[in-house]
Amino acid sequence: MTDYVTEAGSRWLSREELDSARDKMPILYVDALPVRVDETGTVTAFGLLLRATGAGEISRALVSGRVLHHERVRGALLRHLEKDLGPLALPKLPAHPQPFTVAEYFPVPGVTPFHDPRQHAVSLAYVVPVEGDCAPQQDALQLTWVSPEEAADAGLQAEMANGQGTLLRQALAVCGF
C-alpha cells in the first residue's frame, strides 16, 4: 500500500491545488478514535489528542486526515494513526470497511453537528483498538486516555474542536456505553 501511494505521489495536491479543490467539492476524510480494550473487547479507555490548531489554540481532537488520490481508506487510516500516535501504536484496524458513522463537516456551522471552517469534508469514522505504545507526533502534542465515564462528560465533549465531541459521543454509543 505504502509503495503504491509513494508511486502516486507526483499526483498529490500542491497547496494551491488543495485550496482550489476545497472551494469546489467535498474532501474525503477519515476520523479514528483510538481505544484500549480488555480481553472481551470492552473499551476501557478512549484516546484523545491534544492538538495545536493553526490559530495557536490547543484543543482535544480525534486522529483525522485526508484520503489521498489512489490511497485505500484503510491505508489512510493507518497512515494518520501512525502520524499521530507514532510507529509503535499497533492499531488494530477493523476487518469491516463499514464506518460506524459518516461525519459531514460543513464550512457553515449548524448544517450538521460538525464544522470545518476550511472546507466541506466528509469523514468515514472508525473506532480503532491500539495495543502498543503511543507517542504523539508532529502537531499532536499529547495523547490522553480517558475512561468511558470521563468520555461521556458533556464538558469534555464541548472542549473538542469542530463538533468532534458529537463524534466521541456517537462512538461511546456504538461501543455500548
Name which of 41 and 58 has its Cβ closer to a copy of itself. 41
In b/e form, how buried is each residue of 83-93, taking b as 16+ CB within 10 angstroms? bbbbeebebeb
Q: Which of residues 33-62 bind a copy of itself (CB under 8 A)?
A: 35, 37, 39-43
Distances (CA, A) of 112 to 18, 48, 109, 119, 165: 23, 22, 7, 14, 13
Residue 89 near a copy of itself by CB under 8 A: no
List, in sequence order, every residue forming a beta bridge with 125; answer none if it has no partner: 31, 101
Alpha carbon distance 36, 26 (integer Å): 32
Select the residue interacting with a copy of itself from 32, 49, 63, 75 (CB under 8 A).
75
Question: Strand, coil or helix: what is 128?
Answer: strand
Select the residue interacting with a copy of itself from 122, 146, 156, 161 (CB under 8 A).
122
CA-nearest of 49, 160, 164, 62 to 103 is 164
Query: How many residues line the site for a copy of itself (CB under 8 A)?
Result: 62
Select the residue interacting with a copy of itself from 53, 69, 117, 141 (CB under 8 A).
69
Name which of 23 and 57 has its Cβ closer to a copy of itself. 23
CA-nearest of 177, 167, 148 to 60 is 167
**Shortest reach from residue 25's CB to a copy of itself, in Å:** 5
Residue 85 near a copy of itself by CB under 8 A: no
Question: Strand, coil or helix: what is 141?
Answer: strand
Question: Strand, coil or helix: what is 83?
Answer: helix
Residue 161 near a copy of itself by CB under 8 A: no
Residue 104 near a copy of itself by CB under 8 A: yes
Select the residue interacting with a copy of itself from 54, 110, 155, 176 (CB under 8 A).
176
- Which letter does DSSP use for residue 150 in this model? H
- Which letter does DSSP use for residue 160 in this model? B
Residues that bind a copy of itself (CB under 8 A): 1, 4, 11-13, 17, 21, 23-28, 35, 37, 39-43, 66-75, 77-78, 92-102, 104, 106, 111-113, 120, 122, 124, 127, 129, 166, 169-170, 172-177
